[in-house]
Structure 1
Amino acid sequence: MDNFSSIECFVRSAEVGSFAEAARRLSLTPAAVGKSVAKLEARLGVRLFQRSTRSLTLTEAGQRFLGEVSASLNTIQNAVANLASAEGQPTGTLKVSMGTVFGRLYIVPLLGEFLRRFPAITPDWHFDNRQVDLIGQGFDAAIGGGFDLPQGVVARKIAPAHRVLVASAEYLAEHSPLVNPEDLQGCDGILIRSPQTGRVRSWPLTNRAQQQCPLNLKLRMTMSDSEAACAAAEQGLGVALVSMPFAAPYLRDGLLLRVLPEWYVDDGNISLYYSEHKLLPGKTRVFVDFVIEQFAKQKLAQLFSAI
């Protein structure tokens, strides 16, 4: 068992390039992780890491050893997790990444029912609008849209990722009727700036007949968050291009109106991301199944669709 613990410390340290970060993820001290790896090196008779005050890098032997043990370690851990699930309730810490507002609006409200069904699971939920390294950062799952799919990660679609144009009734009353996409040129635009790249994307509008048209809004301001853009549009400051999950509450309460309701931006899908394992840990499997079930029950895919 001591050997297994040492190998886990080695693999996690190699994944993140730091004893301190590996210790944080393993709920150990950096000294304990470093000592465990040193014991493993002594037993193997080779140096696995080149250490300095600023970096931790694998030696050639360390790289070879990592390639040989990493997959086996994950298989063993998943087998243990599934055995625990088979004997009773799924158990363990469930580390999930999701967008800040999206998570608060649509995932956190599911938490009570989820824990009533699976009381042995401990949620460790991270709210961040940036894409995470699912495997490298030790996440069990992530919810979002437009993630790159590295090797070993799968995505299950749970809803379309549509963006729509919205404005307040007051703003629309003060401007000429907006009938065609060309009419947007004279409107104040509240556009979304990517938190990853810092750029404002040039979105093409699509209608239900799958015709496309350039989106030409006069830039008035940029936001890095759709909910903030909705709040700005509610004040009558312009026409906002926002994601449907964030627009839906404003549209439902009549605080905002769809502009050119026949047109929208297709930004792919909102998906659940998780590691591709034949032995998926029970805690991850039940979470994925639960979210898919609840999205279907609440018809969120239909709510998030702009069509």
Structure 2
Amino acid sequence: METLSNLESFVRSAESASFSAAARRLALTPAAISRNVAQLERNLGVRLFQRSTRGLKLTEEGERFLASVSGGLDMIQGAIADVTANMGVPHGVLKLGAAPRFGRSHVLPLMTDFLALYPSVLPDWNFDNRQVDLIADGFDASIGGGFDLSPGVVARKLAPAHVIAVASPAFMSNKRAPRSPADLGGLAGVVMRSPETRRIRLWTMRHASGAEMPAQQHPHIVLNDPDAICSAVIAGMGVGLVALSDVLAEIERGELTRLLPDWCVDAGQISLYFPSQKLLPSKTRAFVDFVTAAFETQNLSKRFSAQ
């Protein structure tokens, strides 16, 4: 009979296509993961992975075997986790990821109360606008919008991700307010260049009635960082299309004015991402439950909605 460690090494390697990533997740060495998988292959008499310098790729037999055992492995480890979850107080380093502006504005303020409840947890934050790879990079959780859901990762929805048109009152003081997204072309635009594609990001806005129309921005300044766009718009450089969650405080303080109040971009959901919830350490479970409850208490789902 195969040992649990052999099966777990195989499943986690398949999810991340990497012995090294599986080793980080299981707190083993890549060599140990490789040995476990090799032993499993010898016992089964089949090759489960094609190995190359580019990484791992499941063979046809490996894909069938993964489909057969991955669910059972999660059930076994879930049962173990359920038995041991309440035996210890949440503790240890909690590696977390979030976009810089969103993290500073909405998540960091929660940490005082979280650490008062769980003083043995050390949050280790990585603020970056790029999507982190929870499994390969060893993150316990991340918060963001529009992320691809990779194998072994689940998402808990927190709030809508709506993008709106905003400008400073000073910038709009002598200008006619736009009546449709097409009118944005007559105003200086603070626009986004995608760091991945190097192209200007084009947005399609949706009216409350369901009608859609491209936002016709005229570039006045081009930036590759959402935080910088917010700063430029607040400084009066032009009109920007930004996430409502990123400028909610500025709108409430009157530092920014929302244009086209019946129009927005539906960019999906802001979600809390974490590894398969059946296998969560107590520190991660505590963080997930705390953040979810805080978003509900503060009614952020409604406040972040542009509709």
TM range (shorter): 0.7 to 0.9
- Over 3 Å counting, the alpha-carbon distance change for 1:89 and 1:165 in structure 2 is same
- Deviations for 1:189-248, whole angstroms, at most 9, x for unmatched residues? 1123445555512322525x6665553332223334332111112332211111112112
Pair 1:63–1:165, CA change in 2 (3 A): closer
Aligned residue type for 2:292: I
Q: Distance in 1 between matches of 2:195 and 2:219?
A: 18
- What's the counterpart of residue 177 of structure 1? 176
Q: Map residues 115-154 of structure 1 onto 2, 5 A cutoff.
A: 115-119=115-119, 123=123, 125-131=125-131, 141-148=141-148
- 1:186 corresponds to: 186
Within a 5 Å distance, the mapping from 1:1-307 to structure 2 comes to 3-90=3-90, 96-119=96-119, 123=123, 125-131=125-131, 141-148=141-148, 155-173=155-173, 175-178=174-177, 180-181=179-180, 183-195=183-195, 198-199=198-199, 200-207=201-208, 214-274=214-274, 283-307=283-307
Q: CA deviation at 1:122?
A: 5.6
Closer, same or farther: CA 235–48 of 1 in aligned 2, 3 Å: same
Change (3 A) 1:68 1:253: same
For the structure 1 residues 20 and 267, does the alpha-carbon distance in structure 2 shift closer, same or farther, using more than 3 Å as the test? closer
State the distance in 1 between where 2:236 and 2:132 align: 35
SS in 2 for 1:176: coil
CA distance in structure 2 between the aligned counterparts of 1:217 and 1:81, rounded to whole angstroms: 52
Contact 1:130 1:195 in 2 (8 A): no
RMSD: 3.7
C-alpha contact 1:193 1:201 (8 A) present in aligned 2:
no
Which segments of 5 or more consecutive residues in structure 1 lack a partner in the other structure?
none
Q: SS at 2:202's partner residue?
A: coil
Give the distance between the partners of 1:24 and 1:276, measured in 2 at CA: 16
- Quick one: which amino acid aligns to residue 218 of structure 1? H
CA distance in 1, matches of 2:93, 2:71: 21
Native 8 Å contact 2:16 2:135 kept in 1 = no
Aligned-pair CA distance for 1:120: 5.5
Separation in structure 2 between the aligned mates of residue 21 and residue 70 of structure 1, nearest angstrom: 17
Unaligned segments of structure 2, at least 5 residues: none
Deviation, structure 1 residue 93: 6.4
Q: Distance in 2 between matches of 1:61 and 1:287?
A: 38
How much does 1:49 deviate?
A: 3.4
Counterparts in 2 of 1:218 and 1:19: CA distance versus 1, 3 Å:
same
Q: TM-score by structure 1 length?
A: 0.78
Seen in structure 2, the aligned counterparts of structure 1 residues 46 and 279 have a Cα distance that, compared at 3 Å, is closer
User: Is the deviation greater in 5-14 or in 276-285?
Assistant: 276-285
Say whether the 8 Å CA contact 2:24–2:136 is kept in structure 1: no
Please tell me the residue identity of whatever aligns with 1:129.
Answer: N
In 2: Cα distance, 1:210 partner to 1:278 partner: 39
Per-residue displacement from partner, 1:167-202 (whole Å, max 9, x unpaired)?
A: 2233223x4231523653321111234455555123
Contact 1:194-1:201 at 8 Å conserved across structures: no
On the 8 A contact 2:74/2:279 being kept in 1, the answer is: no
Once the two structures are superposed, residues 137-177 of structure 1 have per-residue CA deviations (whole angstroms, 9 ceiling, x without a partner) of: 7765443223455788665432232222222233223x423
**Change over 3 Å in CA distance of 1:79–1:104 after alignment to 2:** farther
Instruction: Return the TM-score normalized by structure 2.
Output: 0.78
What per-residue deviation string (whole Å, max 9, x for no partner) do you get for residues 280-301 of structure 1?
Answer: 7655544333212211323323
Report % sequence identity. 49
The answer on whether the counterparts of 1:75 and 1:279 sit within 8 Å (CA) in structure 2 is no
Go from structure 1 to structure 2 and tell me whether the alpha carbon gap of 1:260 and 1:157 turns closer, same or farther (over 3 Å shift): same
- Asked whether the 8 Å contact 1:79–1:281 carries over to 2, the reply is no
Distance 2:206 2:65 in 1: 51
Q: Is the 8 A contact 2:207 2:264 kept in 1?
A: yes
Question: More deviation in 88-97 or 285-294?
Answer: 88-97
CA distance in 2 between counterparts of 1:226 and 1:109 reads 20
Q: Does structure 1 retain, via aligned residues, the 8 Å contact 2:81–2:278? A: no
